[in-house]
Amino acid sequence: MSTQKKVMWWIGGAVIVVYALFPIAWIISISLKAPSDIANGQFAPTNVSWENYTTILTGSASGLFLPALRNSFGICLIATFISCVLAMFAAYAIARLDFRGKRLILSTALGVAIFPVISIVTPLFNVWRQIGLYDTWPGLILPYLSLTLPISIWTMSAFFREIPWEMEQAAQVDGATTWQAFRKVIVPLAAPGVFTTAIIAFFIAWNDFVYGIVLTSTEAARPVPAALGLFSGASQFEDPTGAIAAAAVIVTIPVVILVLLFQRRIVAGLTNGAVKG
Amino acid sequence: MASIEMRNIVKQYGDGFPAVNDVSLDIADGEFMILVGPSGCGKSTLLRMIVGLEDITSGDMIIGGKRVNDLAPRDRNLSMVFQNYALYPHMTVYENIAFPLRLSKTPDDEVRRRVTEAADVLELKEHLERKPANLSGGQRQRVAMGRAIVRQAEAFLFDEPLSNLDAKLRGQMRTEISRLQRRLGITTVYVTHDQTEAMTLGDRVCVLRKGKIQQVASPRELYEQPVNLFVAGFIGSPPMNFLPATPEGNRLNTPFGTIELDEKRAAAVRGRDLLLVGIRPEYFEDASLVDEAKRPLGSMFRARVDVTEWLGDSQFAYIPYEAPEAITAQLRDLSRELDSEELRTQAIVSIDSTSRIREGREAEFWLDSRKVHVFDPTSGENLTRDAEAGAELTRLATQDRVEQLDESRGGAARVGAA
């Protein structure tokens, strides 16, 4: 590559990074501004103030925020775990076995995924109230599964298809039962795929707002995105902007940590050297 | 260690296509059997039915005297080397080789002893802690073999194990496999489409065509006494030349002059009007280099040489000839079936490397007529096959094998009995 081309690439890259990270920088900056400073008309806060963070963690908003944080973590982790386990078996079957209705399962999964949440949330609200799932963890885990399962099945079956059939046949010839071959050979090989899927599923559940706000009413099950919408200022003349920004930053942190932790596992091509070439 | 018997094995796929059609084959204990044929002949399917990865539509598969049709692969106690090795990428070489032992819950020190032993045989000792991704092709191949020999399997199955290696390494591994098999004296079934591997490794070779067995014999018998046009064309490189011929008494008129047949062969071909003569390239020679004593045993002819290829130790000349339309079409079909594409009717002739025959000129050739075979062009059947001579060749090969096997298993017992 010529120097000129390199420079162009660097500039292009920088533009994209700035474009993607600017809103995050902005929200961090807002979260560090005192309420009186928010409309100061400049990017950086005049004085760095941790006031917003104290408000949501120990102050007046903590009663709303902390239970919501706990709910979000609990509900999203459980939903992710269940959808990964189910998707693993489903994807294995789809990638490996030839059975009637295989295409039907895949296209149904896709159909569910493209169905707009808003169109089913009202009937769901009624049903949930009738059967007692309203404002409970299972009441959110179930709809979250409907969001995460289809995408999990699709991504994981793509990963399973990448694993050569011979791997498993070799294990069977070596004396493994189908279950042993699955557990000792296929699962370790599919690990990067499982992690990737888990992270995607977690994000989807973590980011949901509509189910969260409609299907909950108290801190018993309300997740963070819904709680953010219910923040109020110290008085009715004050915006809760600073507190919302601080909460948004805190909510972003687990996502960033997750990606950093599993980045190597996601990228690592574990199947390298499994077969020729 | 066990014998493998197949009785009328059929494999039919969902669409009714028989990939393997009524195959019966006995593989003796300790024998090295090669399954060979062009692509799509069903050789891999047959191997996978032996190991249990493919269901058997009908027929009996008997290993060590036990019918195994309904047994899962893990209950058949066979070991297999796959074409792409199928190593487990998340395990070290040591764990890869130990995998079958781990599954059978072998105690740790026993595992260590046997893995070390296998690694010694295959010279993998310094690689035991590495992952397959960091190994070269040849090393991966050896790990795959290590995994196969580490347990006491009834038989080894190889599915084109060398086809992913480059030519030089392939030669080395071929010798290695042969040595290993002789040393362990274990029944081996080896699938390949490479006839060099088939000829050099096998005690016996089974030639398959479209799911049917054509001939099962020692490499020498296949070469000297092929049963039909297909086997004759498949075995040998460069392939056998097929010339159209019309019989006239004890003689055959061919584009390369007349060929005299002995009484027995002449009788076999009498009463037909169009035949195919099969002549191997090395039955030809530059006439000027043939001994006076040898000359009367063959016939002479003049022909124009199209191309010559000098390879140092040998030399090939290409001689075009005219053939009737029907024969040309049939030869083209045959060559297509053998995975090659013969565009023109030409004979490939092996001549001495010192020969000064030049391209584009006429030259005089000598043709050894003693070993030519005559085929029926419609059925492809070899009319002049000497079944007894062929059987004798295979009997000799079997005797060799039994002697070698006795030696490797400690011939003391036999000597003591005698």
Q: Sorting pLDDT into bands at 50, 70 and 90, what band is A95?
A: confident
DSSP state of B228: B
Q: Sorting pLDDT into bands at 50, 70 and 90, what band is A266?
A: low
Domain ranges of chain B: 4-224, 237-384
Structure tokens at B118: 């296998």
Which of B78, B101, B103 would you mutate first to test chain A, the one with the most A CBs within 10 A? B103
- Mean pLDDT value of segment B368-376: 89
- Residue B228's pLDDT is what? 92
The distance of A275 to chain B (nearest Cα, Å) reads 5
- Residue A268's pLDDT is what? 53
pLDDT digits (tens, 9 = 90+) for A158-177: 888 888 888 889 999 999 99
A183 touches B: beta carbon within 8 Å: no
Of B77, B89, B151, the CB nearest to A270: B89
Q: Tell me which chain A residues have a C-beta less than 8 angstroms from the C-beta of B80.
A: 170, 173
pLDDT digits (tens, 9 = 90+) for B315-331: 999 999 888 888 888 88
- Residue B137's pLDDT is what? 87
Residue contact A175–B74, C-beta within 8 A: yes
- Residue B416's pLDDT is what? 40
Q: Sorting pLDDT into bands at 50, 70 and 90, what band is A237?
A: low
DSSP string, B299-318: EEEEEE--EEEE-SS-EEEE
Residue contact B133–A169, C-beta within 8 A: no
CA distances from A22 to A49, A277, B74, B149 (A): 20, 43, 58, 61
Of B51, B80, B133, the CB nearest to A273: B133
pLDDT digits (tens, 9 = 90+) for A177-192: 988 998 898 888 888 7
State what percent of residues in chain B have pLDDT above 70. Answer: 97
For residue A273, pLDDT beyond 70? no
pLDDT digits (tens, 9 = 90+) for B142-184: 999 999 999 889 999 999 999 888 888 888 889 989 988 888 8
pLDDT digits (tens, 9 = 90+) for B246-302: 888 888 888 888 888 888 888 888 888 888 899 999 999 998 888 888 888 888 899
Q: Sorting pLDDT into bands at 50, 70 and 90, what band is B413?
A: very low
For residue B409, pLDDT beyond 60? yes
- In total, the C-beta contacts within 8 angstroms joining chain A to chain B are 83
Q: Sorting pLDDT into bands at 50, 70 and 90, what band is A52?
A: confident
Q: Sorting pLDDT into bands at 50, 70 and 90, what band is A236?
A: low
pLDDT digits (tens, 9 = 90+) for B73-126: 999 999 999 988 889 988 999 999 999 999 999 999 999 999 999 998 888 999
Rounded CA-CA distance A119/A123 in Å is 8
B130 touches A: beta carbon within 8 Å: no
- Residue A275's pLDDT is what? 43
For residue B220, pLDDT beyond 50? yes
- Mean pLDDT of chain B, nearest integer: 88
* B191 within 8 A of B159, measured Cβ to Cβ: yes
Q: Report whether CATH 1.10.3720.10 matches the domain A62-230.
A: yes
Task: Lay out the sheet containing B315-320: strands in order across.
Answer: B307-310, B315-320, B346-351
For residue B208, pLDDT beyond 90? yes
- Residue B386's pLDDT is what? 86
B134 touches A: beta carbon within 8 Å: yes
Is the Cα torsion angle A31, A33, A39, A41 positive or negative in sign?
A: negative
What contacts A20, CB < 8 A, 6 or more positions away?
none
Which of A174, A180, A265 would you mutate first to test chain B, the one with the most B CBs within 10 A? A174
Q: Which amino acid is at B300?
A: M
Q: Sorting pLDDT into bands at 50, 70 and 90, what band is A265?
A: low
- Residue A269's pLDDT is what? 42
Domain ranges of chain A: 62-230
**Biggest distance spanned by C-alpha atoms of chain A:** 74
Residue contact B135–A166, C-beta within 8 A: no
Residue contact A274–B79, C-beta within 8 A: no
The full length of chain B comes to 418
- Residue B343's pLDDT is what? 66
DSSP string, A244-276: HHHHHHHHHHHHHHHHHHHHHHHH--TTTTSS-
Which of A98, A167, A169, A173 would you mutate first to test chain B, the one with the most B CBs within 10 A? A173
- Residue B101's pLDDT is what? 93
- Residue A235's pLDDT is what? 63
For residue A194, pLDDT beyond 90? no
Q: Tell me which chain B residues have a C-beta less than 8 angstroms from the C-beta of A180.
A: 103
Q: Tell me which chain A residues have a C-beta less than 8 angstroms from the C-beta of B132.
A: 273-274
Chain B residue with CA closest to A169: the answer is B53
Q: Which amino acid is at B278?
A: G
Phi then psi for B282, rounded to 5 degrees?
-80, 0
- Residue B410's pLDDT is what? 66
- Residue A43's pLDDT is what? 82
A274 touches B: beta carbon within 8 Å: yes
Comparing A266-275, B13-22, B204-213, the range with the smallest average pLDDT is A266-275
- The domain B4-224 is placed in CATH, from the list 3.20.20.120, 3.30.70.20, 3.40.640.10, 3.40.50.300, at 3.40.50.300
